[in-house]
Structure 1
Amino acid sequence: MSRCDAYDSWEPENMLWLWFLLGVVFSGPLWLAVIWYARRIRAGRLHPDRRANESLAELSQIVGGLAHEIKNPLSTINLNLELLSEDIRRHDDEEHRRLTRRLSIVQNEADRVRQILDDFLRYAGHYELSLSNVDLRDVVSELRDFFLPQAEASGAVLRTTECSDPLPCRLDVKLFKQAVLNLLLNATQAMPNRGELLVKVSRNNELSCVEIIDTGTGIPPEQLETIFQPYWSTKKGGSGLGLPTARRILREHGGTMKVESDVGKGTRFVLSVPLRKTPTKKG
């Protein structure tokens, strides 16, 4: 069989085997985990409280392991797709350019699956916090400098305000920045016609707070709780795990995340974490 004959097999009607294989690889193990959990419930082996929590933790560990296992063949698929694409691009004619475009679609979908798996592992994985003593003002200042170019590129005006007193906290700085960054990205995406993004750092009794306020489209009242549900998203191509992951990171730090919104005016997220207790100096 000639090389052109082989490329003809990439016609849509001849690619059903590929889509079937990808579907089995990506969805099969997750469905097995769901079926396993359903059978546990049906068998009456779960206690309403402690046993249920233990089983949920066990299921999370199993599904996380399955996600890691899916990434292994996915890496092989991506590598072979790239090699095949390089081979096809050596031929500069319309037929091979058409094949390259179709192969690019498959590569993009495989990359999207990888991103979904990465987002899921960040959400469902076990967090081992690497805590350090920091001033929350410094953490937010570093994140502001990092995010400023992206805010300007999106047309948003980024402003920050902070209190004058230190805000000593014990944070996993990397994870905490990830939570705040998720909210900053959501805020800029909620302001398609430019807008103002305010990041406010303050103290509230024994809590240190970060407020993220945008002048975007706002969130309808009936969606204010729904937005924290995994895989719920109104954005095309969104994973629906950004907000649930951010809230989980706050909870891992013993903190909270609250949201207020007015449709057509904007949204305000408040992230609160406990202040670190410092020993009082004896006079």
Structure 2
Amino acid sequence: MMPERRAPDTAERPSPVGQTAPPADDAMLKSARRVRRNVEEERQARLAFLGTLAAGLAHEIRSPLEAIKLNAELLSEDIGCVHEGHRKEFENRLERVKREAEQLKKTLDEFLAFARPPKIEVFPTDINAYLRELIEFAEPEFRAAHINVVTDFADGLYPVAIDQAQMGQAVMNILANAREAIREHGEVRVATRETEKHVEIRIRDNGGGVKPELEEKIFEVFFTTRERGTGLGLGIARRVVEEHEGALILENRPGVGAEFIIQIPKGRYLEYSDAAAGAEKAK
């Protein structure tokens, strides 16, 4: 699926006096809607298949993976039994086994999160306070890479209804993508804005941006340009945002940096408030 791009605002231009716009072609509109519906049904079918596949993978991989990690830890405890001349080499190989096992576990967890997402449970959230907590949690990794995280939060934002755990994963995935794009010595800017219909989270980096020919691929499952990447982070982020009936938009500046914009609809908060009020009256 192609990543969404923000289209420039254009004012409506009135038809010249004495002229009327041609009537819409109903057949073409119906055909376009049918194509969109078919694409969405195909996407949902793929996700359902991935969910079934994920369940099998979890069963077949998780148990032996845990056994590998446990045995690696046991071997670490017996490192003193290894001949001193070979101890350092043995330690290095053992650490590599641990790293690879942890990377495989991470890939499995991300695949499960993408293929079998839990149902979202939304709560009204002060998005600025929520983002401050996430950034505070992530900041040590940025600091270690000499990356400065700057915030620019709008005051008095409309509260939004989100699943805090899942939206947190989406934000953290985008932050991780920004950190990996910069590698070291750069800046990530996290901002919030409010529009008529949405509250926006904007995450911008100066990591060089996305190559134009790759813009259509970055949200695809398992697509990655990084040696240790799983290719699931941005796909998970988009799925989470879409589950909130929002949109994840890429504003790309090749050679400069990329900005990901999470648009969260205000209407979800009103729906939550109405449902909560109804439940309170029913008590």
Q: TM-score range by the shorter chain?
A: 0.7 to 0.9
Q: What are the superposed Cα offsets for residues 69-124 of structure 1, whole Å, 9 maximum, x if unpaired?
A: 12012212322233244335423422454444334433332222222111111111
1:256 aligns with 2:247: yes
- Look up the match of 2:57: 67
Preserved contact between residue 137 and residue 167 of structure 1 (Cα < 8 Å)? no
CA gap 1:181/1:52 in 2 versus in 1, 3 angstroms: closer
Compared with structure 1, are the counterparts of its residues 141 and 167 closer, same or farther at alpha carbon in structure 2 (3 Å cutoff)?
farther
Distance verdict in 2 for CA 1:201–1:232, change over 3 Å: same
- In structure 2, what is the Cα distance between the partners aligned to 1:50 and 1:141? 35
* Distance in 2 of aligned mates of 1:262 and 1:196: 15
- Alignment size in residue pairs: 232
1:241 deviation in Å?
0.7
Distance 2:138 2:95 in 1: 30
Letter in 1 for 2:58: H
For 1:183-194, what aligned pairs fall within 5 Å after superposition?
183-194=174-185
For residues 250 and 201 of structure 1, the distance between their equivalents in structure 2, rounded to whole angstroms, comes to: 16
Report the Cα distance in structure 2 between the residues aligned to 1:98 and 1:202, rounded to whole angstroms: 53
CA shift for structure 1 position 222: 1.1
- Cα contact 1:89–1:97 (8 A) shared by 2: no
Which TM-score applies when normalising by structure 2?
Answer: 0.73
By how many angstroms is 1:195 displaced?
2.1
4+ residue runs over 4 A deviation: 48-55
What are the within-5 Å matches in structure 2 for residues 59-98 of structure 1? 59-69=49-59, 70-98=61-89
1:232 & 1:179 partners in 2: Cα distance? 17
Q: What is the deviation of 1:132?
A: 0.8
On the 8 A contact 1:229/1:244 being kept in 2, the answer is yes
| Corresponding residue number in structure 2 for 1:35 | none
Question: Are the structure 2 counterparts of residues 263 and 77 from structure 1 closer, same or farther at C-alpha, using a change threshold of 3 Å?
Answer: same
1:1-283 correspondence to structure 2 within 5 Å? 56-69=46-59, 70-275=61-266, 276-277=269-270
Aligned residues of 1:253 and 1:273 also touching (Cα < 8 A): yes
* Consecutive unaligned residues in structure 1, runs of 5 or more: 1-47
1: CA distance, partners of 2:147 / 2:47: 40
8 A contact 2:204–2:257 mirrored in 1 = yes
2:29 aligns with none
Task: Report the residue type matching 2:57 in the other structure.
Answer: A
Q: Partners of 1:255 and 1:212 in 2: how far apart?
A: 16
The one-letter amino acid of 2:233's match is G
Q: TM-score normalized by structure 1? A: 0.73
Q: Which moved more, 1:171-180 or 1:56-65?
A: 56-65
2:234 partner letter: L
Which ranges of structure 2 fall in alignment gaps of 5 or more residues? 1-37, 275-283
Identity of aligned residues (%): 30
Classify 1:88/1:271 alpha carbon distance in 2 versus 1 (closer, same or farther; 3 Å). Answer: same
**CA gap 1:164/1:109 in 2 versus in 1, 3 angstroms:** closer
- Higher RCO by CA contacts (8 Å cutoff, separation 6 or greater): 2
CA contact (8 A) 2:47 2:115 kept: no
RMSD: 2.4
Q: In 2, are the aligned partners of 1:131 and 1:171 still within 8 Å (CA)?
A: yes
Give a deviation string over 1:220-252, Cα, whole Å, max 9, x none: 111112111111111121111111011111011
Structure 1, 122-131 or 210-219: larger mean CA deviation: 122-131
Post-superposition shift, 1:179?
0.8
Paired with 1:218 and 1:188, the residues of 2 have a C-alpha distance of 12
Q: Deviations over 1:146-201 (max 9, x none)?
A: 33333333222221112222321110111111111111121122223522221110
- State the alpha-carbon separation in 2 of the partners of residues 52 and 247 from structure 1: 17
